Structure 1
Amino acid sequence: MIDRQDFDTRAEALRPLFEDRLRIKARDLREAFHRAGPELPRGIRGDGVLLSKTEHLVANPHIARQLEDAPVWAAFNRVTAHLKEIDPKARRRGIILDRLAGVAFNILVVFAGFVIWLWWRGYV
């Protein structure tokens, strides 16, 4: 049996982690995991699906009594551990470096195309 208060307490504990580590503000877990999408590994996304469904089902006390709590708490622990491992500074630095690498590649392609065009026209 899953207690609604325990579930809500743990869900509220995840909210600051999503905001601090991934810069995602969301009303509930479903929205948070949806916005995080490809930034999370596949296993954590699976845990997110479980937690999102459980969040919806726990609203009904009759259904909440039928749910097993061990997989839900394990999913909470895995998601919390993963979010705590994320370094926001390194993530930001990685995003900036990826964009700069893309720009550098585009400049290289344009320069190579220009040299080929010069060679083709007979200027080089």
Structure 2
Amino acid sequence: MIDTAEFQTRVARLHAALSDKMRLRGRTLEAQFRRAGRRLPGRQRRAAAIVLGAQDWMGHPKLARVLDMRQVNAAFADLHAYLDPLDPKEARRTAILRLLGGIVLNLIALGVLIYALAQWVRTG
């Protein structure tokens, strides 16, 4: 059987990690996971479902005793293994570079179209 206080501290650490690493707002862990959506890989979404299910079961003393703690511990470990190496500054930098790359690509395509139109008008 797990200590509920220990479980709540692990949930609080996971809540803080989601806030810091992925910049997810939400009052509860469930709201944060809902906001994360497809930003989390499938394996981590399954781990999140296990943690949320365990969180529901921990509120009931008899259900908490039958909870498979190996599975819950593995879910916590899997989520932290994914979140710990994330760098929010690098993610922001990558998003900005992708946006700028898309803008540059569109400007190049527009330039090519304008050039082709000018050539077509001159020859026709």
Q: TM-score range by the shorter chain?
A: 0.7 to 0.9
Which amino acid in structure 2 is aligned with residue 120 of structure 1? W
Distance 1:73 1:80 in 2: 11
Shift of 1:100: 0.7
RMSD (Å), alpha carbons? 1.8
What's 2:74 paired with? 74
TM-score by length of 2: 0.87
2:66 partner amino acid = Q
Comparing 91-100 with 22-31, which one deviates more in the overlay?
22-31
Give how far 1:123 is off: 6.1
Alpha-carbon contact 1:25-1:32 (below 8 Å) kept? yes
In the other structure, the counterpart of 1:83 is 83
Residue 10 (structure 2) pairs with residue 10 (structure 1): yes
Aligned residue in 1 for 2:33 = 33
Shift of 1:13: 0.8
User: How many equivalent pairs are there?
Assistant: 124
Q: What is the identity, as a one-letter code, of the residue corresponding to 2:99?
A: R
Between 31-40 and 71-80, the greater mean CA deviation after superposition = 31-40
Q: Distance in 2 between matches of 1:56 and 1:113?
A: 58
TM-score (norm 1): 0.87
How far residue 119 of structure 1 moved from its aligned partner, in angstroms, is 2.1
Q: Quick check: 1:96 aligned with 2:74?
A: no
How much has 1:2 moved relative to structure 2?
4.1
- Say which SS state the counterpart of residue 85 (structure 1) adopts: coil
Q: Once the two structures are aligned, what percentage of the paired residues are identical?
A: 31
Distance 1:14 1:119 in 2: 60
The list of structure 1 runs, each at least 4 consecutive aligned residues, that deviate by more than 3 angstroms after superposition, is none
Uncovered stretches (5+) of structure 2, i.e. residues with no partner:
none
Partner of 2:24 in structure 1? Answer: 24
| Range 27-36 or range 86-95, more displaced | 27-36
Q: Does the CA-based 8 Å contact 1:2-1:68 persist in structure 2?
A: no
1:109-120 matched pairs, under 5 angstroms: 109-120=109-120
SS in structure 1 of the partner of residue 84 of structure 2:
helix
